[in-house]
Structure 1
Amino acid sequence: MTRPHVLLSAAMSIDGYLDDASPERLLLSNPADFDRVDELRADCDAILVGSTTLRRDNPRLLVNDPARRAARQAAGRPAYPLKVTLSASGELGPELRFWHTGEAKLVYTGAAAALGLRAALGGLAEVVAVDLGGGLGPLLDDLGRRGVRRLMVEGGGSVHTQFLAEGLADELQLAVAPLLVGEAGAPRFVNPAAFPGGSTRRLRLLEARTVGADVVLLRYAPKESA
């Protein structure tokens, strides 16, 4: 069994925020970067996002370009990647757009919450009971058994933190926007954690380039040191 290649993808402000604290979503990326992310999604077998991000942002997580969807189908793949979320509590409502767009959906939750979530979703997604308190390894093992070879993780901060702290991320792509948020209640790219190697370990930089007029893309290999 092979675990998926795990790619963490995030857009953040210069001071490390994923959003501000207002009710409206802060758009950090520019059009060129949104297109880059769409291309990344088309190249992946599955896209994972945490339950807090589902409730806060209500995303659809689709491949928007029809040509990219057609290319996936021509290669014998579904038009859209598998959509994955995880929730320890299982508190996810059936009204979220996540369930009603794209194709297959998968939810990982604790054994105690699985039965209630299956009833609440009414077949909108497959619900898998897993011990999320024991780390994300079992989730990756299950995705590997399902044929997922490339997993794109789009947040939020708690999920990014967990993958990085457990040493499970193979690649990190950060789009840095020329904004300063500075709001204490706003979500950050990562939260405090004990990361492998500690604060002196330098990750290997794979790429740094400008995307569009004002976004800088930074690619790192989290399992490798500089």
Structure 2
Amino acid sequence: MPSRSRTAAGRPHVICHMVPSVDGRIVTGEWPAPGSLHSEYERTAATLDADGWIIGRISMEPYAGRAALPRGSGARIPRTDFVARTGAPSYAIAIDPSGKLRWESGSIDDDHAVTVLTERVPDRYLAFLRDRGVSYLFGGKDRIDVPAVLRKLRQRLGIRRLLLEGGGKINGSFLAAGCIDELSLLVAPVADGTLGAPALFDTAGGAPTRLQLVSAEPRRGGLLWVRYRVVRRRR
């Protein structure tokens, strides 16, 4: 077990766990990847001892489902956090600022579903989430404040270690906010080479971050599991 980097007080220790190509691309659909990729990804994730995982809306859509949203505005619902369940074995967390996911239920297998919203979502959507047993946290009025969301995940749900498994923009927003503590990369033996394809981190203006190598371990199918610790600047 590698030593842990310093984590800001009051938030979870965040590990960005991803499968990039050797050139940092992350859309795997067309890759000639080894058949062991998915199983190795899940196996390595299980060793990271996380209390939950967080991704963006588009990535969460296949898991959430396509339930119908009820008509009508309904009663006014205060913009306060709603926690439908605590003490879950794990939490599946989506960042969905506008409230577009159509959750079938409040569970994904044994994981409790949590969605992160902005205050601009309509009342009927909040009523829909409550009816489905989906917890929701507000991450800001008009845009998501990543550090504030992480503090809420720790305070409201007791999450201490969190896997970040998003797309380039979600991962990039965490990186730019200084909210990634480790990288766990299962590098696939693939050179993607697609111009403009989503990368591991996509941030406006960039967010160069110094890393320290912790370990590198070959895995089945030519995969390479590489772990880095984020080096914090001394204040």
Instruction: Give the alignment's TM-score, normalised by structure 1.
Output: 0.75
How far apart, in 2, do the equivalents of 1:212 and 1:126 lie? 38
The structure with the greater share of residues assigned to helix is 1
Secondary structure class of the residue paired with 2:59: helix
Residues 209/134 of structure 1: CA separation in 2 closer, same or farther (3 Å cut)? same
CA contact (8 A) 1:30 1:212 kept: no
Structure 1 residues 115-155: Cα deviation after superposition (integer angstroms, max 9, x where no partner):
34323433231122221625201101111112111111111
Deviations 1:146-182 (A, max 9, x none): 2111111111221111111111111111111001222
Displacement of 1:28 after TM fit?
A: 8.2
Correspondence for 2:6: none
The amino acid across from 2:123 in the alignment is L
- CA–CA distance in structure 1, aligned partners of residues 155 and 35 of structure 2: 36
Partners of 1:165 and 1:194 within 8 A in 2: no
For 1:157, the equivalent position in structure 2 comes to 168
Q: Does 1:82 align with 2:85?
A: no
Query: How much is the aligned-residue C-alpha RMSD, in angstroms?
Result: 2.9
Displacement of 1:108 in angstroms is 1.0
Q: 1:13/1:144 Cα in 2 relative to 1: closer, same or farther (>3 Å)?
A: same
Alignment of 1:48-67 (within 5 A): 48-55=54-61, 58-59=62-63
Which structure has the larger Rg over C-alpha atoms? 2
How much does 1:13 deviate? 1.0
Structure 1 residue 141 corresponds to structure 2 residue 148: no
Structure 1 residues 114 and 28: CA distance shift in structure 2, 3 A: farther
Residues 5, 150 of structure 1: 8 Å contact kept: yes
8 Å CA contact 1:92–1:117 kept in 2: the answer is no
Give the aligned partner of residue 216 of structure 1: 224
Aligned to 1:128: 137
Contact 2:106/2:132 (CA < 8 Å) preserved in 1? no
* 1:178 matched residue in structure 2: 189
CA contact (8 A) 2:114 2:137 kept: yes
Q: Deviations over 1:67-120 (max 9, x none)?
A: xxxxxxxxxx64x3111111111111124x884432422111011116343234
d(CA) in 2 for partners of 1:184, 1:100: 34
Distance 2:58 2:109 in 1: 19
**Is the 1:10–1:173 contact (alpha carbons within 8 Å) kept by the matching residues of 2?**
yes
**CA separation in 1, counterparts of 2:180 and 2:205?**
15
Given that 2:176 and 2:203 are in contact with CA atoms closer than 8 Å, whether structure 1 keeps it comes out as no
Q: Which runs of 5+ in 2 are unaligned?
A: 1-8, 65-86
Q: Which runs of 5+ in 1 are unaligned?
A: 61-76
Distance 1:155 1:218, change over 3 A: same
Aligned length: 198
